[in-house]
Amino acid sequence: MADPASFRAQPSGATGVLVLADGTVVWGRGFGATGSAVGEVCFNTAMTGYQEVMTDPSYAAQIVTFTFPHIGNVGANGEDIESKVEGAVGCVVREDVTEPSNFRSIERFTEWMVRNGKIGLSGIDTRALTRRIRQSGAPNAVIAHAPDGKFDIPALVKRAAEWPGLEGMDLAIRVTREGGEQWAGGSWSLGKGYGRAAFDAKPHVVAIDYGAKDNIFRNLVKAGARVTVVPAKTGFDEIMALAPDGVFLSNGPGDPAATGEYAVPVIKALLDADVPLFGICLGHQMLGLAAGAKTIKMHQGHRGANHPVQRVGEGWGETTGLVEITSMNHGFAVDAATLPENVEQTHVSLFDGTNCGISIRGKRAFAVQYHPEASPGPQDSFYLFEKFVGGLG
Amino acid sequence: MPKRTDISSILVIGAGPIIIGQACEFDYSGTQAIKALKEEGYRVILVNSNPATIMTDPEFADATYIEPITPEIVAKIIAKERPDALLPTMGGQTALNCALKLDEMGVLAEYGVEMIGAKADAIDKAENRQRFREAMDAIGLESARSGVANTLEQARAVLERTGLPSIIRPSFTLGGTGGGIAYNKAEFDQIVREGLDASPTTEVLIEESLLGWKEFEMEVVRDRKDNAIIICSIENVDPMGVHTGDSITVAPALTLTDKEYQIMRSASIAVLREIGVETGGSNVQFAVNPKDGRLIVIEMNPRVSRSSALASKATGFPIARVAAKLAVGYTLDELTNEITGATPASFEPTIDYVVTKIPRFAFEKFKGAANDLSTAMKSVGEVMAIGRNFQESVQKALRGLETGLDGFNRFPELEGAGREVITAALSRRTPDRLLKVGQAFREGMTVEEVAAVTHYDPWFLRQIEGIIAAEKDLQANGLPRDAAGLRRLKAMGFSDKRLATLAVRSVGVAGGLGETQAKRSGLLHDALVAMAGATSAEEVRALRHKLGVLPVFKRIDSCAAEFEAITPYMYSTYEAPSFGAPECEADPSDRKKIVILGGGPNRIGQGIEFDYCCVHACFALAEQGFETIMVNCNPETVSTDYDTSDRLYFEPLTDEDVLEILRVEQSKGELLGVIVQFGGQTPLKLAQALEDAGIPILGTSPDAIDLAEDRERFAKLVSKLKLKQPENGIARSRDEAAAVAARIGYPVLLRPSYVLGGRAMEIVDSEAQLDSYIATAVNVSGDSPVLIDQYLRDAIECDVDALCDGTEVRIAGVMQHIEEAGVHSGDSACTLPPYSLPPEIIAEMERQAEALAFALRVKGLMNIQFAVKDGTVYLIEVNPRASRTVPFVAKAIGQPVAKIAARVMAGEPLSNFEPFKRDLPYMAVKEAVFPFARFPGSDPVLSPEMKSTGEVMGIDATFEAAFLKSQIGAGSHLPQGGTVFVSVKNTDKAVIVPAVKRLLDHGFRVIATGGTQSYLAEQGLAVERVNKVAEGQPHIVDKIIDGDIALIFNTTEGWQSLMDSKSIRQAALAGKVPYYTTAAASVAAAAAISAIRPDQLEVRSLQDYYGS
């Protein structure tokens, strides 16, 4: 930890600060909620969709650095929300949030941040911060906002340094819903908003919520499924009692190894029972664990809406080698080197070759590391929902 | 998929001359494409009539044809070269249209040439309005209500459905020529008629008006495996109604949520699939209703475009290069992202800055034409600027435009104006609307009020309002004295100069004595500085440097810093010291380096020719082992391509911006110097500031350049060298004028310094004419003198381009103009070698050139203009720097003149290079290309003011064939028969006789107006008489309109005669009748017509010419 004497003097007008675990103090202007929050600082390179990012439960315990300088320009609305539970704890941006301009905006992004208890920090060289993360990995930090500009820096440094970090942390339990729910929402269209799910639809998908984005459920509905969402710790018997045609394993925050302690046995049992499975992100990682692979913490993670993923392996036919531009948000990955014989790699990242999709031989079970539900991001990969739902029943 | 091996040679069609709507962005894309194809080992055949392009440098393609881009000529090239494939997507609309025509004519089938990149059917589907609309219906995308018409009657029927206001777009025209917006039925009829005329298929699309809707563009790249990626989204600040080429645009889109953006993204890709663009880059344009997000597809271009050049420069993604590789079979995942060197090309660039493009216009050159913007493009160039926020980006763009702006300069016409006046001004879509918006905020209007009139998105307006608010604070309180305050302003994009101007006003000394005092030194000045913070840009800079408020340089890496970039492509910004000192990524090298300053936005008089020279400097110096550093802000150019220089700074060419770059580059390695002589006037204007800052200038000293431009200093040098200039003088009264004219001898050319009614200059033959001119045309007084020059009537004008290293002078080329002296050299046709000058005159010009080169201590390039009359050589002007003619000379003689000059400037002697071959066994003709058709109301006549946008070269064994090629290349199709109209001024009558005789012998019918007719009849020529316009109908204009005239020779002298004949030229322009306004060009045209038929022309590659 750096000597407190080396803290950079607080500039006048500074109402916000990002304090890294190594003692680095980054001053700026606070916005949104006041107070402080601890988390891992990551960066996201998407140029649109900040509201979706901030409400994505996979960002629980994370502070998102947006690399695009203007954030908040289209305000906030009641639709572009991925979950009602905790998402990112805060965000770091370069420019002060402007007045919104968009026909769907109902409030300023700053006001929305206040209402949702999220802390923002502006006036930061976010590119420099991103480069630091690229070079040294995602640091733990405290983000704080005090309109009077009064901060207890040594205490914040201590808090950041003492925070244990995401590795080994089960965050799914913090963001999963408490009880089961019949998913009611359909997909969004311009001028009409969200549709309604048909409760009599077949097949029936039971979705395990490890911190899911709502758009996943909407896409399952769009693909023709009836969706029942259950909490992260729902057991095998409880799931089977719902008579699923298939089970969906959602995305979520934290370390897959930690969440896997209770989730993987359930997934293994589902596999053994030949229940069709589809996983996204954390769900992908835990399917990998259940199948015998290992997961690793990535240096800087993948977060953005421009990530190319290529279809590899058997079973793609003419579309072998096709590239999908995908939305990604993960700091852990399935280690492709540890995939057992019966697990096929179906997708790889063209950025760094990391695993982005698996399929279990002899089972109707597959998963992807990225986010085919988009929101934000490209909608190239909707076919995965069709593939899953279409293969059920 | 790997590259195709079933094809081995590929024909690339270029875009031809620079015209409005098709500028050097196609040299940029074509050059990238050719390099990409060559890398893959294909034999590349290129046709492009434009010699000022990099792509036509003989080392790029294997066979380079500088020939007219017509289907007939290209068919001859195909017959000769037998290419396996044709890539039609790199040369704009010209190439697409030519390729379609070749397909239609059966040429491609006959020779088994496959179209790659885009198939004929896909091109037609994208370009044919009706088919495009049907395609959009098929994929569920909404189009504007519309209909196609081939006649006025059909158009009126469509109007019933779409209603007024109505948008009219002719099919298959460039930049929307002939289109417009009609607000009433009379306008509708007129625009439809013009549109039908302009369309090669006599077809117009009539659409419901989407005026005021937001306009977006998506740049899409697709490969043959159906991988599709979006390179960049572009949002137009100017809403629908202004051609996108004339709109201020930003990248990326800033006012869309992700849901709306993704709808547009998915729609763009669906459009490419439906149209069937198998591989390559395309551009899809959308309109969005700001009230409810309703999305309408406007059009798509199945080729690289101006927007894709902008998108490439904005993101770092080389669209044309990638498109060329995809066309030969690669897929996106097989190609590397050249910027990171580590990731594949199959990704979507993400950026962490804001890009602003502002077009540059040239309305002042086309008097009589209204400066309203519409759906027909009128801009001649553009500037792009990059900042970390919109404010910084737009203010950098404004100062990069080089139109005298330092930012949001005040708009005096609206100062203190009432709401109604301001609202009326804002409602007009003029090039300066952004400045009017700024002024409207100064005058207290609100964002809502301005948005209601302009339909600019309120987000952009609030940003501008923020800039004006900061300006008000500065005007009240002067400059902030602390680093944070100053940094805040610099981060908003304020230039030092703008800050100084505003700060000075805080002490109430704007204008008058106070401002003068502020500029002086002394106690009062010190007091002003103390009050305002600074009174000049230099003082602001000094204050900034004292406080440590310095720009940093960030990299354009296509990935928002997610990966390390290997390509040093940079822009400046002001960052907060988030982690100690603001992070600068410039990382200058320790090499020996040379900075080349580019030419900024294209404009008439400074275009691609200068970029060509800058690019050559980069290539040549890199070959010699120097590190080359390019600074430029023109996104259309090859000079701003990521691999032209070792390091690229995309920055405005101002003192402030360039000096900050040099500060960083000098911090490491050795800066040998800066080249300011290659980019036209733009970098030259910076020479003084650079010298003052102690920066070495390579090559000829700026003082020598200044000497050549300073009338008095230059006159002294001329007399010292005992050279001859046309006599001249200045008069401040009628009597003085008469005395000066008498001394010089009539005829004289009179030029007022204050112009009344556009009557700029006149040639007078007698004192009586001089009296009449002074009485009616000018105010002559002490403040407003008249300049009087000896007029060298019918003199032959010449250009000489030469190189000098201080000890040796080498003549690169002597060009003889076809038009006589008095027409701007940039607008004249010329030949190399001279087609009718005696050797002793050429030798004399070369002697004088040598004397001047030594006297001016030229090190590098020099251009001299001479006039030859009655065997005497007169010196007109000297430019000891790169001139517009350099690329033409280089292409004509087959020598890399600009490269050699750059190496000489870096210290090599000329003796290192082989001497130039001077006796060429062929003739090269340069012809200028004009945008008159874009400016209805202006007079399409040649004058001392340059008006051409581009040039073509015709090259052949004889003068006549080369001249004919130059005319065809420039779009003037000389007839082989029909009626010629001749009306020439008295002094031309004898000159024109042989031309008329030739045409009569060739079977033409000749008609002429009274004086000309009787003169020609006296010479025994069978010429019929036709009425002048003033003589009553039916007159000559009636005949032109009726299509009875195939060719026009019309020369005038004197204001009245010029005015009288304007309707003839305008009718000729509208009727696309070839016309010549000088006797010399008329004679050349007649010679070409009688010597060779267009179908007899033969094609030959440059490599073949040079080898002979």
pLDDT(B1055) > 80: no
Residues B776 and B798 in one domain: no
Residues B766 and B823 in one domain: no
Q: Which of A98, A134, A374 sits opposite B462 (nearest CB)?
A: A98
Q: Give the chain B residue nearest A188 (alpha carbons).
A: B259
User: How many other β-carbons are positioned within 10 Å of the β-carbon of residue B415?
Assistant: 10
Is there a domain that residue B848 lies in? yes
Is there a domain that residue B653 lies in? no
**Omega into B975 within 30° of 0, i.e. cis?**
no
Q: Give catalytic status of residue A373 as yes or no.
A: yes
CB contacts, 8 Å: A47 with chain B:
252, 350-351
| CATH number of the domain that residue B1033 is part of | 3.40.50.1380
Is there a domain that residue B141 lies in? yes
Residues B279 and B314 in one domain: yes
For residue B798, what is the enclosing H or E element? Answer: strand B796-804
Helices B306-315/B25-39 angle, 10° precision: 70
Q: Report the DSSP pairing between strands A246-249 and A204-209.
A: parallel
Q: For B1039, how many CA atoms within 13 A lie in the half-sphere containing its CB? A: 25
Distance between B478 CA and the closest CA of chain A, angstroms: 20
Q: What 3-state class would DSSP assign to B594?
A: strand
Percent of all residues in chain B with a pLDDT value above 70, rounded to a whole number: 97
Residue B1057 to residue A252: CA distance in whole angstroms: 83
Q: Total structural domains in chain B?
A: 5
CB contacts, 8 Å: B576 with chain A:
28, 123-125
User: How many other β-carbons are positioned within 10 Å of the β-carbon of residue B872?
Assistant: 12
Distance between A78 CA and the closest CA of chain B, angstroms: 12
pLDDT(B520) > 80: no
For chains A and B, CB pairs below 8 A equal 195
Q: Give the chain A residue nearest B233 (alpha carbons).
A: A47
Residues B805 and B756 in one domain: no
Whether the CA torsion B817, B819, B825, B830 is positive or negative: it is negative
pLDDT(A12) > 70: yes
Q: Which of A43, A123, A191 sits opposite B576 (nearest CB)?
A: A123
pLDDT(A152) > 90: yes
pLDDT digits (tens, 9 = 90+) for B92-115: 999 999 999 999 999 999 999 999
Mean pLDDT of B701-715: 88
- Give the Å distances, CA to CA, from A320 to A99, A310, A315, B10: 46, 8, 8, 29
Instruction: With beta carbons less than 8 A apart as the criterion, state whether B1021 and B998 touch.
Output: no
Closest Cα partner for B785 from B816, B749, B753? B753
Instruction: With beta carbons less than 8 A apart as the criterion, state whether B765 and B745 touch.
Output: no
CATH 3.40.50.880 fits A172-390, yes or no: yes
Query: Residue B988 corresponds to which tokens in the numbers above?
Result: 């031309």
Q: Which of B255, B266, B389 sits opposite A95 (nearest CB)?
A: B389
Give the pTM: 0.95
CB contacts, 8 Å: B288 with chain A:
none
Looking at B357, B375, B398, the residue that finishes a domain is: B357
Q: Does A376 touch chain B (CB under 8 A)?
A: yes
Mean pLDDT of A36-40: 98
Instruction: Please enumerate in sequence order all residues whose Cβ is within 8 A of that of A166, keeping only pairs 6 or more positions apart, or say none.
Output: A40, A61, A62, A253, A254, A255, A297, A331
DSSP for B980-1029?
EEEE--GGGHHHHHHHHHHHHHTT-EEEE-HHHHHHHHHTT--EEE-B-G
The torsion region of residue B402 among left (phi > 0), alpha (psi -120 to 50) and beta comes to left
Q: What average pLDDT does the structure give for chain B?
A: 93
CB contacts, 8 Å: A329 with chain B:
none
Q: What is the side-by-side strand order in the sheet with B114-115?
A: B63-65, B43-47, B9-13, B85-87, B114-115
Closest Cα partner for B561 from A58, A68, A73? A68
Residue A344 to residue A365: CA distance in whole angstroms: 11
| CATH number of the domain that residue B861 is part of | 3.30.470.20
| CATH number of the domain that residue B749 is part of | 3.30.1490.20
CB contacts, 8 Å: B388 with chain A:
69, 94-95
Supply the pLDDT for residue B197.
86
Q: Give catalytic status of residue A330 as yes or no.
A: no
3-state helix, strand, coil in chain A (%, to 5): 25, 30, 45
Please give the biggest Cα pair distance in chain A: 66
Residue of A73, A79, A310 to mutate, testing the B interface (most B Cβ within 10 Å of its Cβ): A73
Instruction: With beta carbons less than 8 A apart as the criterion, state whether B599 and A149 touch.
Output: no
Range of the domain at B857: 701-726+792-880+885-916
Q: Does A191 touch chain B (CB under 8 A)?
A: yes
> Where are the extended beta strands (E) located within chain A?
16-20, 25-32, 35-44, 62-66, 90-92, 119-122, 140-145, 181-182, 185-189, 193-196, 204-209, 226-231, 246-249, 277-280, 295-311, 323-334, 343-349, 355-360, 365-368
Interchain CB distance below 8 Å, B388 and A377: no
DSSP for A270-325?
HHHTT--EEEETHHHHHHHHHTT--EEEEEEEEEEEEEEEEE-STT-GGGTT-EEE
CB contacts, 8 Å: B348 with chain A:
305-306, 325, 378
Supply the pLDDT for residue B516.
63
Nearest 5°: phi and psi at B693? -85, 5
Interchain CB distance below 8 Å, B347 and A351: yes
Residue of B291, B570, B579 to mutate, testing the A interface (most A Cβ within 10 Å of its Cβ): B579
Residue of B221, B352, B388 to mutate, testing the A interface (most A Cβ within 10 Å of its Cβ): B352
Residue of A27, A48, A105, A382 to mutate, testing the B interface (most B Cβ within 10 Å of its Cβ): A48
Residues B470 and B321 in one domain: no
Residues B739 and B758 in one domain: yes
pLDDT digits (tens, 9 = 90+) for B372-387: 998 889 999 999 999 9
Residue A196 to residue B991: CA distance in whole angstroms: 85
Q: Give catalytic status of residue A318 as yes or no.
A: no
| CATH number of the domain that residue B459 is part of | 1.10.1030.10
Task: List residues bridging with A207 in a β-sheet.
Answer: A229, A248
Instruction: With beta carbons less than 8 A apart as the criterion, state whether B350 and A45 touch.
Output: yes
pLDDT(B678) > 70: yes
pLDDT(A43) > 70: yes
Q: Does A193 touch chain B (CB under 8 A)?
A: no
CATH 3.50.30.20 fits A4-162, yes or no: yes
Percent of all residues in chain A with a pLDDT value above 90, rounded to a whole number: 93
Closest Cα partner for A52 from A29, A78, A32, A30? A78
Model confidence band, residue B753 (pLDDT cutoffs 50, 70, 90): low
Residues B716 and B760 in one domain: no
Supply the pLDDT for residue B870.
92
Q: For B862, how many CA atoms within 13 A lie in the half-sphere containing its CB? A: 36
Residues B755 and B820 in one domain: no
For residue B31, what is the enclosing H or E element? Answer: helix B25-39
Instruction: Please enumerate in sequence order all residues whose Cβ is within 8 A of that of A245, keeping only pairs 6 or more positions apart, or say none.
Output: A202, A203, A204, A205, A276, A392, A393
ipTM of this complex > 0.90?
Answer: yes
Q: How many angstroms separate the first and last alpha carbons of chain B?
A: 42
**Residues 35-64 of chain A whose Cβ lies under 8 A from any Cβ of chain B:** 43, 45-49, 51-52
Please identify which of the residues A40, A52, A86, A373 carries the catalytic annotation.
A373
Instruction: With beta carbons less than 8 A apart as the criterion, state whether B55 and B27 touch.
Output: yes
Q: Give the chain A residue nearest B457 (alpha carbons).
A: A101
Interchain CB distance below 8 Å, A69 and B353: yes
- Give the Å distances, CA to CA, from B118 to B28, B137, B222, B571: 19, 22, 11, 35
Percent of all residues in chain A with a pLDDT value above 70, rounded to a whole number: 98
Mean pLDDT of B689-710: 92
Residues B814 and B876 in one domain: yes
pLDDT digits (tens, 9 = 90+) for B21-52: 999 999 999 999 999 999 999 999 999 999 99
Interchain CB distance below 8 Å, A67 and B457: no
Interchain CB distance below 8 Å, B256 and A11: no
Interchain CB distance below 8 Å, B562 and A45: yes
Distance between B572 CA and the closest CA of chain A, angstroms: 13
The amino acid that residue B225 corresponds to is K
Instruction: Please enumerate in sequence order all residues whose Cβ is within 8 A of that of B347, keeping only pairs 6 or more positions apart, or say none.
Output: A306, A307, A308, A325, A350, A351, B229, B337, B559
Residue B465 to residue B1061: CA distance in whole angstroms: 49
Interchain CB distance below 8 Å, A321 and B333: yes
Interchain CB distance below 8 Å, B259 and A377: no
Q: Report the DSSP pairing between strands B860-869 and B796-804.
A: antiparallel
Residue B932 to residue B939: CA distance in whole angstroms: 8
Kindly calculate the radius of gyration of chain B based on its CA atoms and give it in whole angstroms: 29
Model confidence band, residue B754 (pLDDT cutoffs 50, 70, 90): low
Closest Cα partner for B1078 from B888, B829, B854, B865? B829
For residue B466, what is the enclosing H or E element? Answer: helix B458-477
**Omega into B833 within 30° of 0, i.e. cis?**
yes
Supply the pLDDT for residue B66.
98
Percent of all residues in chain B with a pLDDT value above 90, rounded to a whole number: 79
CB contacts, 8 Å: A130 with chain B:
352, 560-562
Interchain CB distance below 8 Å, A45 and B352: yes
Domain range summary for chain A, segments of one domain joined by +:
4-162, 172-390
Mean pLDDT of A181-186: 93
Chain mean position to CA A183: 20
Residue of A323, A327, A347, A383 to mutate, testing the B interface (most B Cβ within 10 Å of its Cβ): A323
Q: What is the side-by-side strand order in the sheet with A204-209?
A: A181-182, A226-231, A204-209, A246-249, A277-280, A365-368, A355-360, A343-349, A295-311, A323-334
Residue B215 to residue B234: CA distance in whole angstroms: 9
Q: Which of A74, A125, A134 sits opposite B583 (nearest CB)?
A: A125
Residue B684 to residue B700: CA distance in whole angstroms: 11
pLDDT(B723) > 90: yes
Task: List residues bridging with B214 in a β-sheet.
Answer: B288
Residues B156 and B184 in one domain: yes
Residue A345 to residue A339: CA distance in whole angstroms: 8
CB contacts, 8 Å: A136 with chain B:
none
Interchain CB distance below 8 Å, B348 and A325: yes
Residues B203 and B332 in one domain: yes
Q: Give the chain B residue nearest A8 (alpha carbons).
A: B580
Instruction: Please enumerate in sequence order all residues whose Cβ is within 8 A of that of A62, keeping only pairs 6 or more positions apart, or say none.
Output: A39, A40, A41, A42, A88, A89, A166, A253
Model confidence band, residue B759 (pLDDT cutoffs 50, 70, 90): very low
Instruction: With beta carbons less than 8 A apart as the criterion, state whether B57 and B347 touch.
Output: no
Query: Residue B135 corresponds to which tokens in the numbers above?
Result: 């395609």
Closest Cα partner for B93 from B304, B325, B308, B374? B304
CB contacts, 8 Å: B485 with chain A:
none
Please identify which of the residues A281, A284, A307, A356 carries the catalytic annotation.
A281
Model confidence band, residue B757 (pLDDT cutoffs 50, 70, 90): very low
Residue B1075 to residue B1091: CA distance in whole angstroms: 19
The amino acid that residue B641 corresponds to is D
Residues B719 and B772 in one domain: no
